[in-house]
Chain A
Amino acid sequence: MGSRSILVVGGGISGLTAAVEASEAGYEVFLVEKRPYLGGRVAQLYQYFPKLCPPACGLEINFKRIRQNPAIRYFTLAEVTEISGQEGDFTVKVRLNPRYVTEDCTACGACVEACPVERPNDFNYGLDRTKAIYLPHVFAFPMRYVIDPEVCEGVACGRCALACPVKAINLLDKEPKTLTLNVGAIVWATGWDPYDVGKLTYYGGGRYRNVITNVMMERLAASNGPTGGKILRPSDGKPVHKVAFVQCAGSRDENNLRYCSGVCCLASLKQATYIREKSPDTKIYVFFIDIRALGRFEDFYARVKDLGNVFLVKGKAGQITEDPATGNPTVVVEDQEAGKLLQETFDLVVLATGMVPTTRGAQVPFGLSRDENGFAVGAVPGIYTAGCVTRPMDVASSVQDATAAAMQAIQSVVGR
């Protein structure tokens, strides 16, 4: 017996889009997300380029579409563990990891005050801490608290459960549950991870506190981030007067990521506008090989170039060193246009680290073929890929890609 249902794996912008678009065309959709909330990486961005608009705006519509549409069912803290069957009739096993907080949670926050344990806040890339019971972020959908079992002391403590006015915390329900779904087609959209800076030893390998990554920069700029939207450097919380963006930190590099991550140029130009907006006198340097602002993004590039206090330097940063006394990083770079060897000291350096597909190195529970970099290649009949698992791409391209994948899934299940 075939199924007309579609499973979407990954609740980031690609997965959300595939799910919503397919369901609005009249198909039943299951959306499975590993994190405790939907929205994925884009939820961690401050703004999108080139419009400099908040991702929460688009996510809000998508969440609204999900809330209003009974044809979509979503599962957070859920992972696909097994796929069997074939096109038109897949049996999928999904592991539902415990949240310890039931649907009764009203997100009142009483539990947080009671909780005695802290953990690094992964939503803010470790730039601050949360309690063991936490709301992933202020726009979280679903708006429900979650407990990190890694640090929670469990029943032995139990203070949150006592504090909860609606008895929505169940510390005993520790076992993951398994859900079995019968679907006709699958869209795999598990997204990307930022490249591990630990491998960029010549840039400090993550040891210098004031050398951060571009994803951390998004959190520093975001008003729901660790600094409340002020761009302060991590070592001492001081404002920044001189900031460098180091492009291709890992990308276009045979020793790291061979491919171009496609979005970092625009991401850094965008982040330059964050700094420009919040502290207009700060000098901003962008060290690049090529500025890849394709299509109409050229306008954005031109705009940022003319902002003032933004210096685009053709030359890849060679080395970063840190002054242990001040925590100031120094960057050496060959300014090719000026024909000079620059050695500049900054308050903050932002590494434009690239995108690594989550399909790299990970176990993918079906015969999906991958290239040497881990990107998905081609498709298994009935299983389609979308977003950054296929190639590095920006948000609009991910949405485009996901809509296409949804169409492929529909073609696969139509008539069943």
Chain B
Amino acid sequence: MAKKVGAYICTGCGIGEALNAEALAKVATKEQKLEICKTHPFLCGAEGRELIRQDVQAGVDGVVIAACSPRVNTDVFAFGDGVVVERVNLREQVIWSHPANDEDTQMMAEDYLRMGIVKAKQAEIPEPYRVEDLARAVLVVGGGLAGLTAAGAAARAGYRVVLVEKEATLGGWVATRFRQVADRPPYTDLEPVDIARRVREVEENPNVTVYKGARVAKISGAPGMFEVSIARNGEAVTERVGAVVLATGAVPYDASRLEHLGFGRYANVVTGDTLEEMAAKGKIVRPSDGREARSVGFVLCAGSRDPEHLPYCSAICCVESLKQALYVKEQNPQAAVYVFYKDMRSPGQYEFLYQRAQREGVLFFRGNIAGIEEDENKALTVQVDDVLVGDRVVAEGIDLLVLATGMVSTAARGEMMVVGAEEEEEKKSGVSLVRPDIYFRSDLLNLEYRQGPELPSLKYGFPDSHFICFPYETRRTGIYAAGAVRAPMDLPSCVKDGLGAALKAIQCIELTARGASVHPRALDTSYAEFRMEQCTQCKRCTVECPFGAINEDEKANPLYNPTRCRRCATCLGACPQRIISFKNYSITMIGSMVKAIEVPEEDEEKPRILVFACENDAYPALDLAGINRQQLSPWIRVIPLRCLGSLNLIWIADALSKGIDGILMLGCRHGEDYQCHFVKGSELANYRLSKIAETLTRLALESDRVRMEQVSITDYDRLPRLIEDFAKRLEEIGPNPYKGF
């Protein structure tokens, strides 16, 4: 707890003109009994900062800055590791969004100052969590292109690497290719696959320990201290690593399910893999009789872009087939080559490869295949409804028909598990407020995690990030997916992905070494503490943690892993016993802020609306409303939360019993296109809200007094209306009867 708190009120940027600074100072000194409260006309200027610095040197360890938003001048108002800094947002959220020299505006500023001071008083300086004997090693699962790249990169950056490959040799899928498309001008050359070099580099690197013919039998522990059990030839080896890269790639879609395209029915219908094999052996032939194939057809989207099979596009089949079409043309320039496609997807410089194939006489058919038949010579006839002709056309005498089967993530195999966050009896109701998590028992990582043995899948079994801005984020801290396991991608992308995932793994190790969180609260050194003596083993925390940070022992006691934790404090919000806290973020801290709000008597007709705002999106949106000088309701009091998922219902109860008229929860969009930085926070807040009706009824209050809204950072122009609507509803309901109790 901060021993000595000082308040500093800035009167610049119009604050001094719009507010009564003296009255504000009195709140700090008289009411909150602070010894130090200084007012300065330009606090962020050199002189203002110096003023604070001197006090800090004189022993102030809690600094309350009543000035602008915490979103600005963060670096200016930083006074070293031992000093708690609390920002009271008088500028953006008070004077810029409310009328100047107004009684209500002044009351708001005073409330915010009170809230800031009580928070600063209670906040403590977090002590970083240090892992004993931190493992500066990276486990890479999968020895294909992405895995080899990741392993090589991490090793070259000075980390020990443990590489586990299930096959007897390294190289993966790429090694089965005859040629690859050169990723350099003119972008149309077919060159030998660049994999042997990468295998050699990894195998020769003394920093890399390679386990071939092996699988990961078990991973327990947490970032910085994962215990990995590797099974090889019936024996088990244990390795200790700091972070994991999952790069197990994809497998082709099962062609035996493509009977409608002739696979399995006709001898000369094969998959792209078979063609690669033949090309590597030196001759592309008809499997039926071994004669050279003089006419070859390629069926694209064989299984992909097909709701019956793979609804997604496998991203590389167009380019792979163009390449294979050129194998045929290189073998025999006179050969007839047909490509049956839906859309030709050769983005970027791959367009030149498409152009080359066209130029070399490959014929392209756009449209649905109407039929594939075999003639007496085992040659195939393909009928296609060609959109470009506007008629059905028939290609006859095809010696070899190649199916470009799509890719299936290796993480999408195995038994599917659906794990929900709701209570058992709620699940039965059929109305799900929290989207369940999907896991596949793919036998890749075998995590000893309470929530499931593998990475949760996003869609179609890909353990991809849902974040456009942060494609490496998975929901298991310190475990990063790279390459085709996480999304269909081409070879250069797999290389990039391997490099990127290696960086994320290293970053995780380095941040963990500093006792700090990884993305999105990177550098945060606070972590959750559990007062276990009051735990009732209700499992809410272990179920709700979006990152699987909390395991359970056999008695259902939570076993918290600080290095897995992303510090969203969802557990804090989930815990009905309120036993979870962070040094600088706790139930009592926020609770006392709620309590610090002065609630006027009913006859004053000044209702109060408590706004819990997600600090990532909703809070900046409120700032932006101010920057745009949008006027907001004078009744609101905003408390930023790490994530709306950290909202504990006790705060709502506290507020209502204090006479606050309504509570507005502003969180990120949830559902399929969720924007919550902690994946499930706003969704869980919504779920908790559904349970609050009960509490309200017990208090004989209307459930409408609590409302949740999904807002994004750009919704600042929507906010005034949204708040106003809520205020109107509260007016209809009437004042909170608990006022004055």
Contact = CB atoms under 8 A, between A and B. Distances in A.
In the complex, A touching B, CB below 8 Å? yes
Contacts of A261: 348
B687 interface: no
A296 B470 contact: no
A400 B470 CA distance: 8
Nearest to B672: A51
B468 A294 contact: no
Contact of A58 (B313, B388, B468, B506): B468
A53 B673 contact: yes
A395 B628 contact: no
Interface stretch (A59-67, A119-127, A343-351, A359-367): A59-67
Contact of A400 (B68, B75, B460, B500): B500
B452 to A, nearest CB: 21
A396 B497 CA distance: 11
Given A252-B351, A392-B348, A51 B156 contact: no
A324 interface: no
A406 B503 contact: yes
B199 interface: no
B74 interface: yes
Given A54-B713, A258-B352, A400-B493, A414 B157 contact: yes
Nearest to B617: A57
B89 to A, nearest CB: 14
A407 B153 contact: yes
Interface in A370-416: 371-372, 375, 377-378, 391-393, 395-397, 399-401, 403-408, 410-411, 414-415
Given A258-B352, A375-B349, A407-B503, A296 B496 contact: no
Interface stretch (A102-110, A174-182, A209-217, A276-284): A102-110
Q: Pick from B499, B620, B669 the residue with the most CB of A within 10 Å.
A: B499
Given A60-B616, A229-B717, A298 B499 contact: no
Contacts, number: 229
A72 to B, nearest CB: 10
B469 A58 contact: yes
Q: How large is the interface on A (under 10, 10 to 19, 20 to 34, 35 or more residues)?
A: 35 or more
A291 interface: yes
A368 interface: no
B624 interface: yes
A291 B74 CA distance: 45
Nearest to B492: A391
A151 interface: no
Contacts of A339: 390
A106 B12 contact: yes
B699 interface: no
Interface string A252-292: 10000011111000000000000000000000000000111
A218 to B, nearest CB: 12
A410 B504 CA distance: 12
A378 B348 CA distance: 16
Contacts of A371: 184-185, 187, 349
Nearest to A406: B503
A31 B388 CA distance: 50
Nearest to B520: A61
Contacts of B616: 57, 60-61
B503 A13 contact: no
Contact of A294 (B347, B498, B520): B347
A56 B13 contact: no
B346 A295 contact: no
B315 A407 contact: no
B184 A377 contact: yes
A260 B627 contact: no
A292 B185 contact: no
A259 B346 CA distance: 9
Interface string B461-484: 010101111111000000000000
B312 interface: yes
B313 A107 contact: no
Interface string A84-114: 0000000000000000000010111000000
B510 A404 contact: no
Given A54-B713, A139-B624, A290-B345, A395 B469 contact: yes
Interface stretch (A19-27, A153-161, A193-201, A237-245): A19-27
Contacts of B141: none
Given A57-B675, A295-B315, A395-B469, A411 B157 contact: yes
A53 B42 CA distance: 37
B700 interface: no
Contact of A372 (B185, B469, B627): B185
A106 to B, nearest CB: 5
B160 to A, nearest CB: 14
Contacts of A26: 507, 510
A260 B617 contact: no
A69 interface: yes
B714 interface: yes
Contacts of A67: 74-75
Given A61-B520, A229-B717, A296-B487, A403 B349 contact: no
Given A58-B468, A60-B620, 16 more contacts: A56-B713, A57-B616, A57-B712, A65-B523, A106-B44, A108-B13, A223-B716, A228-B717, A260-B347, A295-B488, A296-B464, A336-B387, A393-B348, A400-B471, A403-B504, A404-B500
5 contacts: A106-B12, A143-B72, A259-B349, A302-B311, A407-B499
Interface of A: 13, 21-22, 24-26, 48, 50-62, 64-65, 67-70, 104, 106-108, 138-139, 143, 165-166, 222-224, 228-229, 252, 258-262, 290-299, 302, 314, 336-337, 339, 371-372, 375, 377-378, 391-393, 395-397, 399-401, 403-408, 410-411, 414-415
Which 7 residue pairs of A and B lie closest in terms of their CB atoms, listed nearest first?
A58-B469, A403-B500, A404-B499, A404-B496, A407-B503, A262-B347, A290-B343
